[in-house]
Structure 1
Amino acid sequence: MDTTSTGSPSGTGSPSSGVAGAGGVGTARSAGADAVRDDAPRGARPGAGAAAGGRTATEDARAPLGAAGARSDSPRVSRSTAPSAGASSGPAGGPGTPGTGTGAPATGARGRLVAYARLAKFEFVLDYYLSMVVLWTALAGSVRFAPDTLTTLLLFLLGEVGVISAVMALDDVNGIRDGSDRANYLGTGGTPLRPLERKPLLTGALTVNQATRFGYLSLLWGAVFWTAAALAAPERPLWALVVTGLVLFAGFQYSWGLKLSYRGLGEVLIMGCPLVIVVAPYGFVTGHLPATVLVQAVLFGLWQILVSCYSNTKDISGDAAVGRSTVAVHASARGNLLFIGALSAADLLLTVGASAVGWAPWWFFAALLPEMALRLRQFTSFSRNGDALLARRRGVVAFRTGVAGIVLANLIHFAS
């Protein structure tokens, strides 16, 4: 699951860092190991020998999922500045040493709250919560403000916060244990390469034990509130219960536990989990799943993967070094470009096709014309210059533009 901010890790990646042209896109295989990954949670990270290619916590997604545009806090880390196996231990111990931070621990209620919020990456995952806006506006006007509707959606949203926070916290624990966060955030001699306050385990604001406990408690929080949402819901269709349970079980194991992204399921989770957090609460409220809502949910998930796949292209070498199994790692440069092109085409075809076959109002595609234009620009530009970071940033803008279009379409549809 792409649990990261969808903001760009740099203003724009230089074309030389990617590959120009369709035949060369993906030769980030040679440069990707030097890039800092910040679009999805990590599992086993490149500690000794490969640390510079490791992912950071989901500080990209999307967002999600912070502000669109350039991220000044995510420069690339080169092999020349990242600590090697012999230098990654830093001033406070080796990569696996709990409590490796050198600063003072967080004190006071406010200090601890801020530290845990940073651990959970609240400022970077906001785009995921737009799912609630999409599904709420997809409800008929008479249903939107019903007490049981609002109660169900509030409980589901609280559970969603817990599940996402668990992913973020356990992701950071992995980063400390294998040394990749130290390599990505601290240069030789402990010089900060990026703002350390975003990593409370590195700063010493929190300990590994505190973060691990927070991760598991957050997961428990999510399970409790999703259970409460199901119990309070006016409807409990079996399919909604099943898909919610699947996300609860599989989502946090993107890079923890079963490490599903290392088993070739990363792209499935990145698209599937956002899709589910649209359709499941809708099912709990209405008991059914109309084609229009399913289309919107598929688009919501598809737009997430159309951010992440460009990051995967940038991070081929780093992902390969730690055993993360992505399409970009296994496919040729041209094959990866074709994969991204197929996803982009699916976005456009589903949007237009839904209007054409009656799965959505005939004018639905018109509300998404800005998103479709941005999607075409994203892919065609990438196919020419191979700039994965710029394409990724454009994917964030396209995602948010698309969500705005869906919300507008829903409001118009139910107002008419």
Structure 2
Amino acid sequence: MSLNTAASPVAKDRLSAFVKLGKLSFYDYYLSAFIVWAALPGAQTWDGTTFAVILLYIAGYVGVVAATVALDDVTGIRDGSDARNYSPESGALRDLSRKPLLSGALTVRQAELFGWGAMAWGAVMWSLVFVIAPENSLWVGLLMVAVLVSNVQYSYGLKISYNFGQEVILVSPGLAILIPYVLLTGEATGLVILESALFGLWSLLVSIYSNMNDVEGDRLAGRRNLATLTTASTYRKIIVGAHLLEPLAVAVAIAVGAVPVWFVALMVPLWAMRVSQARSGVGQGNLLQARMLGIKLHRWGVPVLLLANVLELHV
């Protein structure tokens, strides 16, 4: 009895460490499922195949993201960048317990096995999605493979994020809207394309502040991204430019007739908060506070897109 009692807390702690390694509590990317569902036309909204495709896609995406972040942590512990970037000065804004390799809760070998297992899970789930999807065009399947492979290689293997690809690949969360929608309908509407672009940009407007905060540690680790290859002044201008991409995307979508003019009214509250985010990060240098605000805006943006889909389809 005593052995079983002792084993239970150990198993619980190990499970908690894997949950943290895979960032499974960071659900922001998976909110794309609701946006896809709300964008579907007519009776397809309640079709059983629709729910199966969306649920299996998100289940696979959880595996893809978990593999990406786990293997990123493996690289971070090996090159020392995580130890430098997660300093005690970060306090609650950079919780060391969220890095189980740094805290010693897991070994590098355990993290690698978890990462590859998560990748295999993602590959299996997405294969099932492609088989049951009503519209399984070859180009969509190839795009799914590209997302899977490139994400897993983000900081591991080819190390895309270390070789000029960090900012580009972080736009890929937007594909979590575009891909399942096309698998279900066989097309991509102007509104869905815009929402995919915005969803990806919202992810970028979180990570871009992390990159600036981590610039010294990343330089020492040999990571080549916009933050490490430019001066602080130039990178601040890049951040401002990234913020401007959001209203620019909406303006272009309206100009080509992809979305109605009223879409701007839905976005205005978010843009007002974006000004606060830029002021905090670019103006005041509170980079991690700006990052946290970016996470909140990513979440607050989801009901905005849900409302846009309802208005477009039913009003």
> What residue in structure 2 maps to residue 228 of structure 1?
128
Partners of 2:68 and 2:12 in 1: how far apart? 23
Give the match's secondary structure for 2:196: helix
Instruction: Tell me if the contact between 2:96 and 2:103 (Cα under 8 Å) persists in the aligned partners.
Output: yes
Deviation string 1:233-252 (CA, Å, 9 cap, x unpaired) is 01112332122111100002
Tell me what 2:3 maps to. Answer: none
- Contact 2:72–2:154 (Cα < 8 Å) also in 1: no
Cα distance, 1:108 vs structure 2: 6.5
The residue type equivalent to 2:15 in the other structure is L
Instruction: In structure 1, list runs of 5 or more residues that go unmatched.
Output: 1-103, 188-193
User: For 1:233 and 1:115, how far apart are their aligned partners in 2?
Assistant: 35
**Contact 1:313-1:388 within 8 A present in 2 as well:** yes
Verify: 1:211 aligned to 2:138, yes or no: no
Q: Residue 220 of structure 2 is aligned with which of 316, 321, 326?
A: 321
Partner of 1:312: 211
Alignment check: 8 A CA contact 1:155 1:226 kept? yes
- Contact in 2 for aligned 1:355/1:363 (Cα 8 Å): no
Report the residue type matching 1:154 in the other structure.
Answer: L
CA 1:132–1:113 in 2, change beyond 3 Å: closer, same or farther? Answer: same
The whole-number CA distance in structure 1 between the counterparts of 2:215 and 2:268 is 32
Amino acid at match of 1:372: W
Alignment of 1:125-140 (within 5 A): 125-140=26-41
Cα distance between partner residues in 1 of 2:219 and 2:81: 15
1:114 aligns with 2:16: yes
Question: Which residue is 1:53 aligned to?
Answer: none
Contact 2:60-2:124 within 8 A present in 1 as well? yes
Structure 1 stretch displaced more, 287-296 or 202-211:
202-211
Deviation digits for residues 189-243 of structure 1 (CA, Å, limit 9, x no counterpart)? xxxxx86653444555443333221211110110011011000101112332122
SS of equivalent to 1:307:
helix
1:152 aligns with 2:41: no
Post-superposition CA distance 1:126-172 (Å, at most 9, x none): 11111112222111242121111111111111111111111222233
Please say if residues 209 and 281 of structure 2, whose CA atoms lie closer than 8 Å, have aligned partners that are also in contact.
no
Residue pairs, 1:152-191, within 5 angstroms? 152-179=53-80, 181=82
Question: Which residue of 368, 375, 384 maps to 2:274?
Answer: 375
Q: Which amino acid aligns with 1:301?
A: G
SS in 2 for 1:254: coil
Shift of 1:325: 1.3
Correspondence 1:64-75 to 2 at 5 A: none
Distance in 2 between residues matched to 1:312 and 1:355, nearest whole Å: 32
| Greater length-normalized contact order (CA 8 Å, ≥ 6 residues apart) | 1
Residue number among 222, 229, 242 corresponding to 2:142 in the alignment:
242
Unaligned regions of 5+ residues in structure 2, if any? 1-5, 89-93
How many angstroms apart in 2 are the aligned matches of 1:353 and 1:227?
35
Alignment correspondent of 2:182: 283
Tell me whether 1:270 sits opposite 2:170 in the alignment.
yes
**Corresponding residue of 2:295:** 396
So what's the TM-score if we normalise by structure 2?
A: 0.87
Cα distance in 2, alignment partners of residues 132 and 147 from structure 1: 15
Q: Give the match's secondary structure for 1:359.
A: coil
| CA gap 1:138/1:211 in 2 versus in 1, 3 angstroms | same
CA-CA distance at 1:106 after TM superposition: 7.5
* Distance in 1 between residues matched to 2:153 and 2:215, nearest whole Å: 21
Name the % identity.
41
User: Could you tell me which residue of structure 2 aligns to residue 354 of structure 1?
Assistant: 253
**Distance in 2 between the 1:335 and 1:182 partners?**
26
- Aligned-CA RMSD value: 2.5
Asked if structure 2 preserves the Cα contact closer than 8 Å seen for 1:371 and 1:399, the reply is no
* Contact 1:275–1:300 (Cα < 8 Å) also in 2: yes
> 1:235 corresponds to which letter in structure 2?
E
DSSP-derived class of the 1:293 partner: helix
Letter in 2 for 1:135: V
Q: In the superposition, relative to structure 1, how do residues 352 and 372 fare at CA in structure 2: closer, same or farther (>3 Å)?
A: farther
1:251 equivalent in structure 2: 151
How many angstroms apart in 1 are the aligned matches of 2:183 and 2:256?
27
The 1-side partners of 2:210 and 2:75 are apart by: 20
Corresponding letter in the other structure for 2:201: L
1:308/1:392 contact within 8 Å kept: yes
Q: How many residues align?
A: 305
